[in-house]
Structure 1
Amino acid sequence: MKSQSKLHRWARVTDAQSAIAAVLRKLGLHDLKKTFDRHKPSRPRRLFFVLEHTMELVIETLDDILPFIVADTGIIHSRHDGYSVINYVYTLENTFETAIARECRGLKFDPDGNLIARPFHKFFNLGEKRPPQDEPWGCEHVVLSKLDGSMIHPAIVRGELVFMTRMGMSDLSREAFRTADEPVRKLCCDMITAGFTPIFEYTSPDNRVVLAYDRPELTLLAVREMRSGTYMAHGDVARLASTYGVAVVSAFDSVSDYSAFWKETRAMEGIEGFVVAFADGHRVKVKADAYALRHKALSGLAHEKNVLAWIATGATDDILPLLTPDAASLVREYHDKVLAGLDKWESEITGLLTEFGHLPRKDLAALLQKQLDPKLQAVAFRALSGTPAREGLMEVLRRASVNAAKVETIRELFDLQWRPREITE
């Protein structure tokens, strides 16, 4: 006989399944029995795992989350006009240790603390948290395209439909809302009314991360029951999208050989990768190596010190092919500006040493002190000892590229002007 707590878990999961079945039945997409049969794993033990997992993730109000947030792990509660957000702003080794923490990826609440949107939980790269062979490949799953844009979801704020990113309302989410046609907006309103959060990817020529898209588009990725966190089966999501006339993410056959799948995906060009979505809500992502390398390079553009380091270590030529044309143009412009400054100081130092290098050391030091910045004085004296001035100047750049504060110490010397590019995850 099941204990009272286990019966409660069954009830909660049944509630979520019933909600999914009801909304699909209302749309004429499903009958109740097929809904339960599809989600029922073949082994009772596996089903109990799913129930345990789902029970732990029931969220209705802020009070279900706040007591479990561990201080100094990067997870914060930020308040905005008409709503608040539970989200992470940086990650540490222990940031996502619990199921509750993994839900803290853009949860939205109204001013009274009631949950109003539940986008994707935090999920990881294949092999990041456990060996690939330990994933439940024998369980029901589907492979989905991983689009290279920004996650967008709807919510109702002050009685109006709005779009949000993980962080909340932004210029990007407002741009996505303007792109949304009537079918997308109707689907959003109907799903929210039924207690679900539809999750989209917004891709656009103006919202380029790595891959280029020729027109703005919202693609339905998933639909999630807010209270329990249960994900609607992808087949049902696809039928839902078809009913409303909304674009849906491409799906492929399940993985029969995980090793071959991983190897082949990593070798692909022109795509970001795939997401493997299991029936119980567990997900893993697999990215193409070429995409991952380019994304890392593009992400580095947000910090001037990284770009300066590429120049100082001679890595620019290796980085440029990984960047988008616009980003590559910015880096070339910065690269040329830095090297122009370097050429200027190399010429200045060489000229001073040619003219006054014969002076006694003390007199030369006094002269250089008047003519050069302290960092350049050191370069000049090293040049007297046989180290080429250019090599000494490159060392100045290398030392300055360690952190943002040190970059500031040479900004005027080399007239550094960097326009950072923000990369959206």
Structure 2
Amino acid sequence: MPAATVAQLHLSDLIDMTELERALHNRHVRRQRHPRLPLHIYNYTVDVQYDRLWTPVTRTCRGLIADDAGVVVARPFPKFFNMGDPLNGDLDLDAPATVTDKMDGSLGVLYPDAEEGGYAIATRGSFTSPQALHATRVWRERYAGRVAVDPAVTYLFEIIYPAGRIVINYHGMDDLVLLGGIDTLTGAHIQAEDLDWPGPKVPVFEYATLRQALTAPDRADAEGFVVQVWQDADRPTLVKIKQDDYKALHRILTGVTARTAWEYLAVNACRHLVTHRKEWASLLALDPARAEQIVAVGDDWLATLIEGVPDEFHTWLRSVIDALNAHAAAIVANVTAFANLASYVYDGDRKAMVREVLAHEHSGAVFNVIDGADIAAYAWKAVYPDADKPWLTISEDVA
């Protein structure tokens, strides 16, 4: 980037550096270094999405790129939310609005790369994700040298290609769709139509207000809208409106059910009991190959479980995980308390104790505790979810 002609923004001008360091320490923000360049990309983590830990720092770190000196070289849209989310604040339904298509791909962030032809494209949290590498290849093969890039602007794209499909079928489309830009220094929004771009630009609709967008009919093969509500003279409030049919289809395609959550929780709770992979079959009645696959994921299993899942499903997932954990813990606590009481009351009279224990709902587990065995696997087998509880049957919380 020609620094002599472009005013610079430092991270400290944009966010509180103490809060950033705290977010990094607490793993609310992840910082990834570029493999070649003195650049870092900052992105909020799955914990922030899961627990809704939204702050000025976590909302700003959504693909933010800065160099080693802390100079911001790319500044994407800050995190924005679905219609109805309280974090949107009070929205003026009749304020002027710009309504664009909500494209169903990956966000691409153009950033300077002097070593490799001038520019490259990152995704929201990575310089080297498959989507980022594909987008950079498209940029260099199709657009590099054809675009008069304004170095003061962060260009933002939707990366659309068949292998990166989420839900919407774009019928073989493989391109970079320009969403617009952000003035890197000021944060001002720049519409796609005001930027030089020979490729496709995000469709813009004629709805003049948020109210009109909310009453628009669903469209075939569409995710919904992104609405820029211009109730602030300086910059808009961005709001997502997702179609019901898209949300339903997304639930089907993600394929994550309560049983999927149980598998990850049970395997991680019981892996200390397994010395040979075949033991998973008897321990949890789980296919050993599936159990080993989950073990291999490691401590990032939650991120793997909800990869690609929109924010509105996190509330549902949290309720499933919390309920399973609570139910398993309750069984362990109940059985342990009863076993301790029986051991105390009968004090070595095993024959008399057996009659009492056999009347307990979890008699086998009670005997195991009395004999000093771990009952984690028993508890998790006991809370295995019914087959009729996939996301598809859960009403959505779009808050």
Q: TM-score, normalised by structure 1?
A: 0.52
1:62 aligns with 2:24: no
Cα deviations by residue, 1:384-415 (Å, 9 ceiling, x for unpaired): xxxxxxxxxxx98673569xxxxxxxxxxxxx
1:262 aligns with 2:214: yes
In structure 2, the residue matched to 1:246 is 199
In structure 2, the residue matched to 1:419 is none
CA spacing shift, 1:163–1:400, aligned 2, 3 Å:
same
* Partner Cα distance (2:202, 2:177) in 1: 6
Equivalent residue letter for 1:175: H
Of 174, 178, 194 in structure 1, the residue corresponding to residue 137 of structure 2 is 178
1:399 aligns with 2:373: no
1:300–1:306 CA contact under 8 A, matched in 2 = no
* Partner Cα distance (2:8, 2:257) in 1: 35
Question: SS of the residue aligned with 2:43?
Answer: strand
* Partner Cα distance (2:193, 2:382) in 1: 52
In structure 1, the residue matched to 2:91 is 135
Shift of 1:268: 4.7
Shift of 1:139: 2.9
* Partner Cα distance (2:28, 2:168) in 1: 29
Of 101, 125, 128 in structure 2, the residue corresponding to residue 167 of structure 1 is 125
* Partner Cα distance (1:155, 1:117) in 2: 6
1:231 aligns with 2:186: no
Aligned sequence identity (%): 26
Shift of 1:113: 1.9
CA spacing shift, 1:80–1:239, aligned 2, 3 Å:
closer
1:80 aligns with 2:31: no
Tell me which moved more, 298-307 or 147-156: 298-307
2:98–2:209 CA contact under 8 A, matched in 1 = no
CA spacing shift, 1:119–1:185, aligned 2, 3 Å:
farther
1:108–1:118 CA contact under 8 A, matched in 2 = yes
CA spacing shift, 1:251–1:284, aligned 2, 3 Å:
same
In structure 2, the residue matched to 1:283 is 238
In structure 2, the residue matched to 1:118 is 75
Shift of 1:307: 8.9
Cα deviations by residue, 1:126-182 (Å, 9 ceiling, x for unpaired): 1112689x3133333211001111111211135432110011212221111222366
1:149–1:202 CA contact under 8 A, matched in 2 = yes
Equivalent residue letter for 1:60: L
Equivalent residue letter for 1:68: E
* Partner Cα distance (1:127, 1:304) in 2: 29
* Partner Cα distance (2:146, 2:18) in 1: 34
Shift of 1:104: 1.2
1:205 aligns with 2:156: no
In structure 1, the residue matched to 2:300 is none
1:308–1:401 CA contact under 8 A, matched in 2 = no
Equivalent residue letter for 2:10: T
CA spacing shift, 1:181–1:91, aligned 2, 3 Å:
same
In structure 2, the residue matched to 1:109 is 66
Shift of 1:238: 1.4
Cα deviations by residue, 1:39-91 (Å, 9 ceiling, x for unpaired): xxxxxxxxxxxxxxxxxxx9822334322334437223333332112210131
Tell me which moved more, 147-156 or 87-96: 87-96
1:300–1:307 CA contact under 8 A, matched in 2 = no
CA spacing shift, 1:239–1:183, aligned 2, 3 Å:
farther
* Partner Cα distance (2:8, 2:82) in 1: 25
Query: Structure 1: which 5+ runs fail to align?
Result: 1-21, 24-57, 310-374, 379-394, 403-425
* Partner Cα distance (2:179, 2:127) in 1: 19
Equivalent residue letter for 1:180: W
Of 75, 95, 106 in structure 2, the residue corresponding to residue 150 of structure 1 is 106
* Partner Cα distance (2:207, 2:249) in 1: 28
* Partner Cα distance (2:210, 2:126) in 1: 39
Shift of 1:106: 0.9
Let me know the Cα RMSD of the aligned residues: 4.0
Shift of 1:97: 3.2
Q: How many residues align?
A: 260
1:272 aligns with 2:227: no
* Partner Cα distance (2:96, 2:247) in 1: 27
CA spacing shift, 1:397–1:145, aligned 2, 3 Å:
farther
Equivalent residue letter for 1:252: F
Cα deviations by residue, 1:67-124 (Å, 9 ceiling, x for unpaired): 23344372233333321122101316562233x4421111001222211111111011
Shift of 1:183: 6.2
CA spacing shift, 1:283–1:144, aligned 2, 3 Å:
same
* Partner Cα distance (1:257, 1:136) in 2: 8
1:201–1:218 CA contact under 8 A, matched in 2 = yes
* Partner Cα distance (2:92, 2:142) in 1: 36
